[in-house]
Amino acid sequence: MRARFCHPHAVFKFAELVGLNLSDFTPEMKSVRVLGKGNKERIVYLNDACRSALDAYMRIRAADTQVKPDSKDALFLSSRHKRISRKTVQWLVYRYLEEAGLESKHLSTHKLRHTAATLMYQTGKVDIRVLKDILGHEQLSTTQIYTHVSDKAMEQAVEDNPLNKLTIDK
């Protein structure tokens, strides 16, 4: 079982998100057990933003008294009181993109995941190996797609090199 930290937009794929169960969470909602591709299990650690969103959602979820018997343990429920589907998640994302005025930007759930991962790497100072685990990738080469190296980052790396301050006495 591998562990990773929760970034709400980058961690879960559709299948993982819709497959989350109430019983997968620790009592304090600090982490969740996720079943990923190939039935591989991993632990995702939840940050404050995730816990806050889940806390708000759980108040709504707990009020649903019409949950279908086969969906009692499902975390996310549809308006039909059943486990939410991948299509519903996709529809919700597109709906909120449209409400935000971003529908004409040709965004997709994959592009949102890609952007979140790129931002985590570039501005969050997340090591590429940690990012690999966060995203649930098997191969580091898959993660490298998300690690666009900017000229500024390369310049900063050269400046931060400990050998940068060495001088040659003449």
Please give the CATH topology (third level) of the domain spanning 2-159. Answer: hpI Integrase; Chain A (1.10.443)
Q: What is the pLDDT of residue 6?
A: 55
Report the alpha-carbon distance of residue 33 to residue 45 in Å, rounded.
9
Domains of the chain by residue range: 2-159
Q: Is the pLDDT of residue 20 over 60?
A: yes
Alpha helix positions (H), 41-108: 48-62, 86-99
Q: 21 — phi, psi (to 5°)?
A: -120, 155
pTM of the full structure: 0.71
Per-residue pLDDT at 21 exceeds 60: yes
Q: What is the mean pLDDT of the chain?
A: 83
Quick one: tokens of 25? Answer: 């969470």
Range with lowest mean pLDDT among 11-25, 46-60, 75-89, 124-138: 124-138
Between 7 and 164, the higher pLDDT residue? 164
Q: Please check whether residue 35 is in contact with residue 20, taking contact to mean a CB–CB distance below 8 angstroms.
A: no
